Amino acid sequence: MDWIERVSEIRRWSRGGERAPHKPLLLLYALGHFQRHGNGLIPFSTAEAELKKLLKEYGPPRDTSPGYPFHHLTNDGLWLVETRHGPASPGPELGRLRESQAAGRLHPDLARALAEEPGLLGRMARYLLDANFAPSLHTDLCLLAGLDLETLETLTEIKKQRDRGFRDRVLMAYEYCCAFCSYDGWLDGAAVGLDAAHVRWWAFDGPDDVANGLCLCAIHHKLFDKGVLGLTAERTIAVSARFVGRSQSSRDMVLSLASRPAQQPQPGLDEVKQDHIDWHNHQVFRTPARG
């Protein structure tokens, strides 16, 4: 059985093209648990707070209950749930999962394959990361999920390969200068601390071209991918109203950016396309919670 293909076929909730990485986040968490403890049961009472944190930090801007992936992943042949009443999930409602003492684990066939096939866990985790999240988030996400990145970083990427020239084209377009703060550091003749950020994530069909790129310093790249920073239709910088920073550094490096025009690429080169900005604003940027 091709388990990577099985993972790629996970059924996801969908509405208007919104990101729905809830099942991938649970799988990454379960793979981390397997890597550390084997395929023992994971009580929902243990997983609930950790899944909630993963969903809050790496899910879409809307709030989602950890009960949804814990229950619904059972439909994909990768995850089993049992309760004090026997096998089968009681549903996604938090009260029922708690009351029934629900616990989950990877499907025994998948656990057997992970134990017998060296590298499968790393390849599966790498696929889940590449298919669902911006690269700048991978290290922190794996740490939160309890995955050992040393194994993952030795693996070749699966599916399509990133265009290695993307970074060079984007940094050149912005004259090796952060489009948000104007940082332009060099070390021994090479730009240092500057990244080519995808506005629409590569994992969600974001093209490797200048019209989908921004030259950002490392900290503003991470904040852009976490939804702290965004772009308006006028190409000014947006700062999430949900961001809190009390220090002078936070005020200088983040809060002071609000409404400041982002640097534009050199004349004759494409500015960021509006549909990519719209995608980022709907799928990543952290707007105030409704209600």
pLDDT tens sequence across 159-195: 445 566 899 999 999 999 999 999 999 999 999 999 9
pLDDT of residue 1: 67
CB burial of 237-248 (b: ≥16 within 10 Å; e: otherwise) equals bbbbeebeeeee
- Per-chain mean pLDDT for the chain: 91
pLDDT at 34: 96
Q: Average the pLDDT over 195-222 and give the result.
A: 95
Give the pLDDT confidence of 234-285 residue by residue, as tens digits: 999 999 999 999 999 999 999 999 999 999 999 999 999 999 999 999 999 9
Distance of alpha carbon 283 from alpha carbon 275, whole angstroms: 12
Average pLDDT over residues 217-241: 96
pLDDT band at 20 (very low <50, low <70, confident <90, very high): confident
Under the banding of pLDDT at 50, 70 and 90, the label for residue 211 is very high
d(CA 247, CA 43): 39
Q: What is the pLDDT of residue 233?
A: 94
**Is the predicted pLDDT of residue 150 greater than 90, yes or no?**
no
For the chain, give the percent of residues with pLDDT over 70. 91
Rounded mean pLDDT, 73-96: 96
- Cα separation, 32 vs 16, in Å, equals 31
pLDDT at 210 over 90: yes
Read off the pLDDT of residues 22-66 as tens digits, 9 standing for 90 and up: 999 999 999 999 999 999 999 999 999 999 999 999 988 878 899
Select the more confidently predicted residue: 151 or 65.
Answer: 65
When pLDDT is cut at 50, 70 and 90, the band that residue 152 belongs to is: low
Closest CA to 273 of 245, 235, 240, 246: 235
Look at residue 215 and tell me whether its pLDDT is greater than 60: yes
